[in-house]
Chains A and B, each alone.
Chain A
Amino acid sequence: MNNATSEADSMKSATEVIVDRPGEFARENYLSIHHGVKAWLLTKDHKRIGLLYLGTILSFFVIASVAAALMRIELLTPQPKLVTSETYNKLFTIHGVLMVWFFLIPSIPTVLGNFVLPMMIGARDVAFPKLNLMSWYIFVAGGALALWSLIHGGVDTGWTFYTPYSTTYANTHVISMAAGVFVAGFSTIVTGINFIVTTHKMRAPGLTWFRLPLFVWSLYATSLIMVLATPVLAITLALISVERFWGVGIFDPKLGGDPVLFQHMFWFYSHPAVYIMILPGMGVISELITCFSRKQIYGYVWVGSASMAIAILGFLVWGHHMFVSSQSVYAGMVFSILSFLVAVPSGIKVFNWTATLRKGSIHFATPMLYALGFIGLFTIGGLTGLFLAALAVDVHVHDTYFVIAHFHYIMVGGMVMAFMGGLHYWWPKISGRLYPEFAGKLAAMITFIGFNLTFFPQFILGYLGQPRRYHIYPPEFQIYHVLSTAGASILGIGYLMPLIYFIWAWRHGRVAGPNPWRATGLEWQTTSPPPEHNFEETPIVTGPPYSYSPEKDADLNLASL
């Protein structure tokens, strides 16, 4: 590919990119074209908005991690030493609320999705760039409300806001926190609408649905959940706030209302939302596995359809959160069977990623380490999910650390690993520079070890009967808590390292060139960093994605760039 642009071409418009030679840093790019705070705050460029989101969600990640760290330190001893019970309740609430709504749900879609989705489909931008910017402002407003609640004393209901505690008894800032989540929810909806329309209407010529990269399929499935589930959360939180303010409402037993109705409505959103927190990660893994094993994905249609199947089935399983909440046994049985069904598309994905590796030319570069870590951890998280879907077993481990370990294997071991892997993979495109590969590999290994040490003991803890959300526990559980806290400190190092070397690499990393991974996606067929409108000419797609061949790239060594 020759990116050398002639003098005459560069006269065409001010935004024309000049690449001196292939493999060099594009001096005129989306970052260099405008300067100043105002240009960032008023940008309609999906790439800049992705970076705005990156900064914002990382701030929330740090706050929520500090809350987690405080909890882990407190849990070192069976008796309270560091915080009171009230503070502990507020800590796990703030950890849950911020991690779920202000980090995990926006993480891959709004950062990596915003950055690469339009480029992957050969578009100049998303369908509604102004709405895209607006979604960031809405998100920041929601975050500000959440932080306001935090600063003014916090909330102690847990991230689930269960009634009647949240509506009647909690003596904390439930309304403002619920309002924060409500507002942030609209930012999710706007992003979802934008991605769906973009995928439908903005694809480059020749890019048919079954030529789409699997990351696009997963974002599409995620967006469907976002637009169909989030409004239900919004109305539920609105009802909670009104009920708390007014003193009457549909969850109010005094009027004959039903607090369990809240659980139904909450999980009708929050279970699909679990898939908002994993599907984009699965999409990233499909990109990484193919690129770093130089293979066409095994069973493209199956992996793509599995994303859609998960999105649809995800709406039918909410009742498995309520096996012990007075739900009828027959409903429990149906929800149990449906929950088992979700394992089928998830299993297809894991099987196909593994099959893709077979006879591939595997490169253990940093993104690949995260991807392989993802497959292992997601498998453990997914299989323990089946324990919880089984009615009888769930009664034993319901609301214990077993559940905590299970969903952290999916959310942290799955989604955060995928987010880190994707961030490393697209970093050369985002910044035009390479991160230090050795430090990257080291951080990936540390993360993997730290993660397992943190959360594996919690499976045992939960199975032995330690309930979640308690900070006082019998002394015989202490060893598992100490192991977990030790793991958390290692995990913390694993997260701090990329933060440091990414900041360093932003200016000082080696120049990456347009396509350091020799990857096939359209996002790699333009300069790094990309020009403001992504492509000099709209690309025309003539074949399926992932046209890698292990033989052709035999000389390649991606693991030591």
Chain B
Amino acid sequence: MPTLTSPVSEDAFVGQQFDDIEQQRDAAKLGMWIFLATEVLFFGGLFLGYTIYRFTYGHVFVEASHKLDVVIGGTNTAVLLVSSLLMAFAVRASKLDQRRMLTGLLLGTALLGCVFMSLKGVEYHKDYTDHLVPRMGFKWEGADPGNAELFYWIYFAMTGLHAIHVTVGIGIMLVLALLAWLGKFSRGNHNTVEIAGLYWHFVDIVWCFLFPLLYLVGHR
């Protein structure tokens, strides 16, 4: 722990139920990891559905996948990966007590989150004009239109659930940026930034699974 200053200054951040800041940090980190485990299982239901139908209707799923925009999806992957990098730097800045740097990095993370959401919005609109949205003017020229609609339904469910998580993450980053600017994370109180970082990385990793599963199926 390079940033530990005097223990007196840290006591202000320690909840009454904890003995010291070390215990509080460990508890918060463990709590976040368990929460992320629940998130894995939450997404897990959708991944299960995807896997079963990909296995059953593989051919249609490949065809349907080819209609998704790989360029936008790929750009979004890069955007999220860079945002995760900024987040990692932000955690480091909070440990080094660099207030301006921390604020800037958190804002940068939030901004890239917004870029991701905007691109996603553009892509959803394109899907709509291409008649790929189930129940909203869905049209399919190839075989098994029902199974193709199932693919797009899963696509919208999975990316939609992920988009909700990104939106929550952007909100968290903006609040943290404000708190960072006010100097709330100084003097060893970097716990909040660290566990928010865990969440952001999780959201990033989910996308890293979604992108190949949904966009790159059957690409040679």
Contact = CB atoms under 8 A, between A and B. Distances in A.
A195 to B, nearest CB: 10
Contact of A255 (B30, B45, B150): B150
Given A126-B17, A228-B37, A236 B45 contact: yes
Given A125-B16, A189-B38, A193-B35, A235 B44 contact: yes
A261 B27 contact: no
B56 interface: yes
A386 interface: no
B17 A265 contact: no
Interface residues of A, number: 44
Contacts of A127: 17, 27, 31
B44 A248 contact: no
A227 interface: yes
A36 interface: no
A196 interface: yes
Contact of B27 (A202, A250, A256, A258): A202
A265 B16 CA distance: 41
Contact of A533 (B16, B34, B38, B52): B16
A255 B149 contact: yes
B211 interface: no
A80 interface: no
B41 A231 contact: yes
B157 to A, nearest CB: 7
Interface in A39-63: none
Q: Which of B37, B41, B53, B135 has the most CB of A within 10 A?
A: B41
Nearest to A249: B153
Contacts of B78: none
A21 interface: no
Nearest to A201: B27
B199 to A, nearest CB: 14
A170 B53 CA distance: 26
B40 to A, nearest CB: 8
B45 A265 contact: yes
B128 interface: no
Interface stretch (A239-247, A276-284, A397-405, A456-464): A239-247
Interface in B116-146: 134-135, 144, 146
Nearest to A190: B35
B146 A254 contact: yes
B11 interface: no
A347 interface: no
A228 B153 contact: no
Nearest to B52: A261
B23 interface: yes
Interface residues of B, number: 37
A147 B39 CA distance: 28
A248 B134 contact: yes
Contacts of B210: none
B48 interface: yes
A256 B53 contact: yes
A257 B150 contact: yes
A33 to B, nearest CB: 13
Contacts of A252: 150
Contact of A228 (B19, B41, B53, B149): B41
A227 B150 contact: no
Contact of B147 (A193, A235, A236, A256): A256
A234 interface: yes
A246 B17 contact: no
B151 to A, nearest CB: 9
Contacts of A232: 41-42, 44-45
Interface in B138-190: 144, 146-147, 149-150, 153-154, 157
Given A127-B27, A255-B146, 12 more contacts: A125-B17, A197-B34, A231-B38, A232-B42, A232-B45, A242-B157, A246-B134, A248-B134, A249-B153, A256-B146, A257-B53, A533-B16
Interface of B: 15-17, 19, 23, 26-27, 30-31, 34-35, 37-46, 48-49, 52-53, 56-57, 134-135, 144, 146-147, 149-150, 153-154, 157
Interface of A: 118, 123-129, 131, 189, 192-194, 196-197, 200-202, 227-232, 234-236, 239, 242, 246-250, 252, 254-258, 261, 265, 533, 538
17 contacts: A128-B31, A131-B31, A189-B38, A193-B35, A200-B27, A227-B34, A231-B40, A232-B45, A235-B42, A236-B45, A247-B135, A248-B135, A250-B150, A256-B56, A257-B53, A258-B52, A261-B49
